C-alpha cells in the first residue's frame, strides 16, 4: 500500500512538472510570436515609432503610415501568423497520427495537391481568391483520398502510405511544372512567386478564409488532441481504452487537410514549416498529448522570423519559403541519416 502511494505521488509530481513546463514553453512561444508580430508592423523601408503604428491601426489618418502599416504590413503579418500556425498544427497532427517524422503534408504530397489546384486556378482560370481557396481544399482532400486508396492492402501500412505520398508529390510537382510551361508569359512570375511561398502582396480581403479556418478547426483539434497519445499506442490498444480511433483519426486528418490547403492557397507552399514545427515543439515541451498549440506557435514564429530575415538580413529580399527551405533542408538530411542508421527506412 505504501509503495502504491509513493508511486502515485511520483506520477502526480511528474504530471505537474510536465504541465508546468508546457505552460512555460507555450507562454514563451506566445510572447515571442507577439514580439515578432510587432516587429513586422514596425520595420520596413521606414521604421515607425510604436505610437504611430498604434494610432494608424486605430484608424487615425497619418500621412504615409496608414498605407504602409494597414495596407502592406498588417496583412503580411496576419498572413504569416495564421498560415504558420496552420502549417505547424497540421504537420504535428500528421506526424503524430502516422507515428513518423517524415509523415508531414509537404513530403506526403498533400501540399502539392493543393498547389496543383491553386496554380491551375491562378494561371489558367485567373480565378478569385475565394475560388482558389476552395480549389486548394478540394485538391488536398482528393490527394489524401487517392493516397489512402492506393495504400490499402491486406492491412494499413504507414510505410506504404509514405512511399506513395512521396511518389504523389513527385507526380504533382511535375503537373505544376507542366502548367507553368503551358501558361501565358505574363502569368509565370505570379505563379513562381506563389510557389516559392511568399507573404509579398498579402491583402486583407484574402485573409478571412484562412483566419476562419484556423479559428474553427483549432478548438476541434485541441479537443481531440488528448487522444493522440492513445492513438500512438496502436490500433488495438487505443480501441481497448475506449477510443473511437477511426472517427478521431479521420476528423483530425480532414481538419489538418483543411488547414494546410487554405494556408497554401493564401501564402503558397512555405517549405518545411509543417515538417519542423512538431519536432521543435516536442523537443521544447517534451512528448505530450497536448503539443498541438505549441506546434502551431512554433510554426507561426518560424514563418514570421524567416520573413523578417528574408526582408532585412540580405542585400536582396527573399520570399519566406526560401529561408524556411534553407532551415529545413539540413534537418531533413539529418533525419534521413538517423532513420537509416536505425533501420527505419
Predicted local confidence at residue 304, as pLDDT: 96
Predicted local confidence at residue 153, as pLDDT: 64
The CATH architecture that domain 84-341 belongs to is Orthogonal Bundle (1.10)
Predicted local confidence at residue 324, as pLDDT: 92
Q: Report residue 150's pLDDT band, with 50, 70 and 90 as the boundaries.
A: confident
Q: Report residue 241's pLDDT band, with 50, 70 and 90 as the boundaries.
A: low
Predicted local confidence at residue 175, as pLDDT: 92
Stronger pLDDT, 248 or 88, i.e. the higher one = 88
Predicted local confidence at residue 244, as pLDDT: 63
Measured distance CA(265)–CA(260) in Å, rounded: 9
Q: Report residue 35's pLDDT band, with 50, 70 and 90 as the boundaries.
A: very high
Averaged pLDDT for residues 215-220: 93
Averaged pLDDT for residues 105-124: 87
Mean pLDDT score of the chain: 84
Averaged pLDDT for residues 326-338: 81
| 212 backbone φψ class: left, alpha, beta (φ>0; ψ -120 to 50) | alpha
Amino acid at each position: 500500500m505504501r509503495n502504491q502511494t509513493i508511486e502515485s505521488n511520483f506520477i502526480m509530481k511528474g504530471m505537474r512538472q510536465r504541465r508546468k513546463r508546457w505552460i512555460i514553453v507555450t507562454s514563451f512561444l506566445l510572447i515571442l510570436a507577439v514580439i515578432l508580430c510587432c516587429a513586422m508592423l514596425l520595420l520596413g523601408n521606414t521604421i515607425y515609432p510604436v505610437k504611430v503604428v498604434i494610432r494608424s491601426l486605430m484608424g487615425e489618418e497619418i500621412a504615409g503610415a496608414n498605407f504602409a502599416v494597414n495596407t502592406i504590413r498588417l496583412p503580411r503579418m496576419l498572413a504569416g501568423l495564421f498560415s504558420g500556425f496552420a502549417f505547424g498544427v497540421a504537420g504535428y497532427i500528421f506526424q503524430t497520427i502516422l507515428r513518423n517524422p517524415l509523415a508531414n503534408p509537404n513530403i506526403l504530397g498533400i501540399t502539392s495537391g493543393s498547389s496543383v489546384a491553386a496554380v491551375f486556378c491562378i494561371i489558367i482560370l485567373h480565378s478569385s481568391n475565394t475560388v482558389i481557396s476552395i480549389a486548394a481544399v478540394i485538391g488536398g482532400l482528393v490527394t489524401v483520398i487517392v493516397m489512402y486508396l492506393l495504400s490499402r492492402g491486406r492491412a494499413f501500412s504507414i510505410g506504404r502510405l509514405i512511399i506513395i505520398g512521396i511518389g504523389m508529390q513527385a507526380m504533382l510537382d511535375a503537373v505544376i511544372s507542366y502548367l507553368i510551361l503551358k501558361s501565358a508569359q505574363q502569368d509565370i512570375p505570379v505563379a513562381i512567386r506563389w510557389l516559392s511561398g511568399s507573404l509579398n502582396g498579402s491583402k486583407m480581403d484574402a485573409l478571412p478564409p484562412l483566419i476562419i479556418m484556423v479559428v474553427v478547426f483549432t478548438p476541434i483539434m485541441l479537443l481531440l488532441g488528448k487522444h493522440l497519445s492513445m492513438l500512438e499506442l496502436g490500433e488495438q490498444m487505443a480501441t481497448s481504452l475506449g477510443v473511437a480511433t477511426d472517427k478521431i483519426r479521420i476528423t483530425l486528418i480532414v481538419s489538418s487537410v483543411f488547414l494546410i490547403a487554405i494556408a497554401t492557397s493564401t501564402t503558397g507552399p512555405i517549405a518545411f514549416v509543417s515538417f519542423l514545427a512538431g519536432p521543435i515543439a516536442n523537443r521544447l515541451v517534451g512528448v505530450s498529448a497536448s503539443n498541438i498549440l505549441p506546434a502551431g506557435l512554433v510554426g507561426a514564429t518560424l514563418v514570421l522570423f524567416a520573413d523578417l530575415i528574408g526582408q532585412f538580413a540580405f542585400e536582396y529580399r527573399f520570399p519566406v519559403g526560401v529561408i524556411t527551405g534553407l532551415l529545413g533542408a539540413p534537418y531533413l538530411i539529418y533525419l534521413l541519416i538517423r532513420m537509416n542508421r536505425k533501420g527505419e527506412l
